[in-house]
């Protein structure tokens, strides 16, 4: 999905929203090149052609367009697909969406994203998402200090279960950060995951 209400400096999909070059790459993408409106029925047919059991909706920020997503998601679920939505956790989900049985993978942003706290942490949205069964919270981290910030967010907003993912655009960066974080993540009783798409394809698009 295109468009985002945040502007994380290290975002790995800046081409979905960064029209001014505020990200770490400094590249200003052109929406006319990157965004292509499509009817939901056309999207449905393309997704069904992959013949996979699960569809993950990512962005950008998908919940900014959640009303438009509803017919597509209903159709996917009706045809037997499992559906997951990745979100930054700043938008309250519509009751109709929360009731569909989709899984929410929520990634609240930390201070190193460059976004102001009042923009990246929205209490009513986090509470609503935490109340949906099966929701998981993933935090992108670089250092042990980031884990302290995660703990503070968990204490304030009840954002569990916790998954920690290392930040990085290259396999080397991911390896370095996960090595720095691993022991502390395990000691806190949280879950640790890598960035499989970066490990396999680096920062290549369209994979």
Show binding-site residues: 4, 8, 10-13, 58, 60, 107-109
Beta-ladder partners of 164 = 139, 192
Among residues 134, 143, 141, the alpha carbon closest in space to that of 108 is found at 141
Among residues 40, 44, 7, 10, the alpha carbon closest in space to that of 166 is found at 10
Beta-ladder partners of 104 = 85
Show binding-site residues for [4Fe-4S] cluster: 4, 8, 11
Among residues 104, 110, 144, the alpha carbon closest in space to that of 10 is found at 110
DSSP state of 92: P
Show binding-site residues for S-adenosyl-L-methionine: 10-12, 60, 107-109
Show binding-site residues for Mg(2+): 13
The helix/strand/coil state of 24 is coil
**The token pair that represents 156 in the structure block:** 């304030």
Residue at token pair 């935090």: 139
Among residues 6, 9, 15, the alpha carbon closest in space to that of 206 is found at 15
State the Cα–Cα distance between residues 23 and 189, nearest whole angstrom: 32
């Amino acid at each position: 999905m295109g468009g985002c209400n945040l502007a994380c400096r290290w975002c790995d999909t800046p081409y979905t929203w960064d029209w001014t070059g505020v990200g770490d790459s400094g590249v200003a993408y052109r929406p006319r090149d990157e965004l292509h409106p499509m009817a939901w029925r056309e999207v449905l047919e393309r997704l069904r052609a992959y013949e996979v059991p699960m569809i993950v909706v990512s962005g950008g920020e998908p919940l900014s367009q959640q009303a438009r997503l509803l017919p597509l998601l209903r159709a996917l679920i009706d045809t037997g697909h499992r559906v997951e939505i990745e979100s930054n956790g700043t938008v309250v989900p519509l009751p109709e969406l929360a009731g569909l049985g989709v899984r929410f993978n929520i990634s609240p942003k930390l201070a190193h994203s460059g976004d102001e706290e009042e923009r990246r942490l929205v209490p009513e949205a986090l509470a609503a998402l935490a109340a949906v069964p099966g929701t998981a919270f993933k935090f992108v981290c670089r250092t042990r200090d980031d884990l302290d910030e995660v703990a503070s967010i968990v204490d304030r907003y009840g954002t569990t279960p916790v998954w920690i993912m290392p930040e990085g655009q290259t396999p080397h960066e991911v390896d370095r950060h996960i090595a720095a974080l691993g022991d502390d993540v395990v000691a806190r009783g949280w879950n640790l995951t890598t960035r499989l798409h970066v490990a396999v394809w680096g920062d290549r698009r369209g994979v």
